[in-house]
Every structure is written in C-alpha cells, then in structure tokens.
C-alpha cells in the first residue's frame, strides 16, 4: 500500500482505477488475491466511498477483478484470459512496460506455424474465403477500415489451423497489434501494402506448408520491423 498516493485531481475515480490497475500489473496483487477493503482504500487515497466503488466498477468492467458479496466477499483479482490478456498487454505497452519487440517475437513464433497448419487443412471453402479476402483488401482506403480488411487473411488462417488453442492465441495477437497500431494511425499502404498476402495465400491453397510457413515469417518480419520504427518514434515523442 505504500506505493499509492493521495488523490488530488477532479477525476479521482480514474486516478484510483489507474493506481490499482498498475498494482495488479506490477504483481503486487496476483490472481485470486483480495484487494484492500473499501475502508482501507478510502483512508489510503483520501477519497469518498463513492469514488472507490466507481473505481471497482471500472476494474470489474475491464475484467481485472471480480466482486464477491457476503462476509468473506470483496474485490478479487481475476485469472488471466485471452480477452483480458489482449487488454492488459495493450495497457502495459502504453505504460512502457512492454515493447513491440516482445509482442512481435511471440507472433513471429506462432503465426508461421499457424500458416503451415492452415495449408495442411485447406479446403475448397477455405480457398474461396482466402481469395475473397485478398480481392477486397482495398475496398476501403480509410483508416482503420483498411487495416481491418488487410487483417482478414490472418484471421482466416487462424480459423483454418485446426487447433483451437492456437487460434485463440493467434487472434489475440493479431487483435493486440491492431489495437496498439490504431493509436499510431500509421499510413496503411506504408506498413501493409495491398497484395502482400498473395504469395502466402497461394502457398496455403497449394497445401505447401513449408512455403506458407516461410512466407508468413518473411511477411511478418517486414511488417513488424516497420511497426517497431513507428513505436520508436512514438516513445520519443512522448518521452
């Protein structure tokens, strides 16, 4: 509790929320741990009961805590889920506690494997979905619609891989990179030109797992190298 600071700003509930969230991310409170009681937090933050309850509601809405009623109730830190993982990792990124390099290393390991498995499981229906996604990548040139269109191939490949755990992880990573990149609003044609998926999709359709795996790695390496440069510029401008 010694790391918390009294709240002096008007949006006290937001400040309490941010400090409690940081405490959870920093590991001061782990999954299953009970947060301090309302009375303790009122005294620590020098705020009203209403402020603490609003902060708890925000933490609950963000999937960070679970409110339990009764004599043994209170606010308990929740287990990490894929959805919470995506949200929490995005927050850690903007708190400068996680870098694109770390996120990208995970994606570079997982998505090439997903591409290989997708090639092994490719059907005529999958082929039609992939070709349609490629054909419509430039239906909109407005941000963020273009990014969503040019991410569809990745989502389809994730669904095709035949491993639901990998599908969930892969989609979480794709979504995470998209959410972070949205804050930068980069030039879509610069970071992800149309047609980048054509050779990859053809390899998957041909059921050529080796080539699909290699092409996915090359594609992601180029894409993520550009995003890391954008991150560097972002960090510098906000330092």
Element (H, E) at 218: helix 209-237
Judge whether 76 and 41 are in contact, CB under 8 Å.
no
Confidence category of residue 177, pLDDT binned at 50, 70, 90 = confident
* Chain mean pLDDT for the chain: 85
- Please give the Cα distance from 119 to 164 (Å, whole number): 16
Q: What is the pLDDT of residues 16-34, one digit of tens each?
A: 999 999 898 887 898 789 9
| Closest CA relative to residue 156, chosen from 107, 217, 197, 104 | 197
pTM: 0.64
DSSP 66: E
| Closest CA relative to residue 179, chosen from 38, 53, 83 | 83
Residue 92: the pLDDT is 77
- Please give the Cα distance from 7 to 220 (Å, whole number): 43
Q: What is the pLDDT of residues 33-82, one digit of tens each?
A: 999 999 999 999 999 999 999 999 999 988 889 999 888 889 999 866 56
Provide, rounded to the nearest whole percent, the portion of the chain with pLDDT above 70. Answer: 89
CA 109 to chain centre: 16
Residue 34: the pLDDT is 94
Question: Which of 3-7, 90-94, 169-173 reaches the highest mean pLDDT?
Answer: 169-173
DSSP 75: E
Residue 186: the pLDDT is 63
């Amino acid at each position: 509790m010694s790391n918390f600071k009294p709240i002096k700003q008007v949006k006290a509930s937001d400040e309490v929320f941010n400090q409690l969230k940081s405490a959870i991310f920093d590991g001061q409170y782990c999954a299953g741990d009970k947060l301090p009681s309302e009375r303790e937090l009122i005294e620590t933050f020098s705020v009203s009961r209403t402020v603490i309850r609003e902060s708890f509601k925000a933490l609950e809405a963000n999937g960070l805590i679970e409110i339990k009623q009764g004599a043994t109730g209170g606010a308990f830190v929740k287990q990490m889920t894929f959805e919470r993982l995506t949200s929490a990792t995005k927050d850690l990124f903007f708190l400068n506690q996680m870098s694109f390099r770390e996120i990208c290393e995970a994606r570079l390991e997982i998505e090439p494997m997903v591409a290989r498995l997708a090639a092994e499981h490719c059907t005529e229906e999958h082929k039609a979905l992939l070709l349609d996604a490629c054909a419509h990548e430039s239906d909109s040139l407005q941000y963020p619609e273009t990014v969503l269109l040019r991410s569809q191939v990745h989502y389809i490949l994730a669904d095709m891989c035949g491993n639901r755990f990998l599908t969930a992880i892969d989609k979480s990573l794709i979504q995470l990179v998209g959410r972070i990149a949205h804050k930068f609003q980069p030039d879509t044609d610069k970071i992800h030109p149309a047609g980048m998926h054509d050779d990859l999709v053809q390899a998957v359709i041909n059921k050529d797992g080796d080539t699909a795996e290699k092409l996915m790695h090359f594609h992601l390496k180029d894409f993520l190298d550009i995003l890391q440069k954008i991150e560097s510029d972002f960090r510098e401008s906000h330092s």
